Structure 1
Amino acid sequence: MKKNSGLIFVISGPSGSGKTTLLSKLINSPGLKQALKKSISFTTRPRRSKERNGRDYYFITEQQFRDRLRKKKILEWTKYLGYYYATPSGIVDKCIKDGKNIALCLDKKGAFKLKKLYPGTITIFVMPPSLVSLRQRIRGRCNKTSNKEISGRLRLAEKEMMIAKKYDFCIINKDLEQASREATGIISRLITLNNILK
């Protein structure tokens, strides 16, 4: 990355860890609201009850996903539990070129791909306090989630938590306010340091 570029923050964690909620809290916090832009991903999964198109995700069809991929409008993508998730191309380059900081919510594959494309990327892994609490969060988040899907998400979560040590930072999300303070501290310090070095 160039000296005057913005920073890239990637937040990852298993389904139900609170990574998306944490990122929303960070983006809207007084200390980071002006300093951090959220990248909104494409997804082919159905919209949940409290989600809004263009705020949480861009909800697209599988055909729209394939069209964007073919037209090279996707920087990175993954398939998770049968649904596609993708980062629009251009948004990351524009932010860092303009000296703005950007935060993305990605799985491990996306996080490491971004780190390879942009070596200065800062990765933060969000862990649940336990698998028991993770099961409760997944069940509570969507009461229509089948036991089969919950079991699949928990199996994936166990695998994902094994790679947490490969991230730059790890936050245990037992309490959202505490996790938010910890993440805000990490991100604020790195943004301040980057601004000093510009």
Structure 2
Amino acid sequence: MFRFLGALAATSLLSFHAAAAVISADFRTEADLPDYSVRGALVHERTGSVLGAGNELDSSDFVRNPSHWGGGIVHVDWDAATNVLTLDSRDTWDFQTFILEIGNIVFDSAQKIVGLSVISDSLVTREGGAPILNFTDDGLSIGYQSGRYDVFNFTGREARFQVILADIADVAPIPEPGTLALLGLGIVGLAALRRSRARA
């Protein structure tokens, strides 16, 4: 009995598949009020940021602020164990646009991003509306823009997002429109052939 349980435990450990993980990426945030200045956004950026303890992007990653905006600082943390992305606003200033871009993501094996969703969101007041989420195989963006009101306000709180990864081999390819059209024509042709044989 104990041998069986030991063998079962060993088999379980050998068949365990580690969760997909991100090693490093380029992080960039831009906060702006384009209706009030054309000089440009407040930018923070860190390239090749290695995921680990602490934020992957913070106040120390300042690049430029040609319009001299106050506030607009958002710290970014990507938890490599859970692939939860946290945006933490450090102030309560007004803005019209904010975007986080993460690119050149390096994975620990042949993986890609297959989903991005909101877990919780209190980063901006309601005037900012829902975040705009986009992703590619190895990059993503999260943006806010003023909607019905002139500006939105950062709240000094945070938003959390779930990044979903998958092994490339596990993702079924989506047929191209041309392939689907050829398949449809083939089915129509078979149906026509069957009718002509039934009449003969």
Smaller-chain TM-score bracket:
under 0.3
The normalised TM-score by structure 1 is 0.25
Q: Per chain length, whose mean CA-contact separation is higher, i.e. which structure has more relative contact order (CA < 8 Å, sep 6+)? A: 1
More helix by share: 1
Q: Using structure 2 for the length normalisation, give the TM-score.
A: 0.25
Largest Rg, 1 or 2: 2
Q: Which has the higher strand share?
A: 2
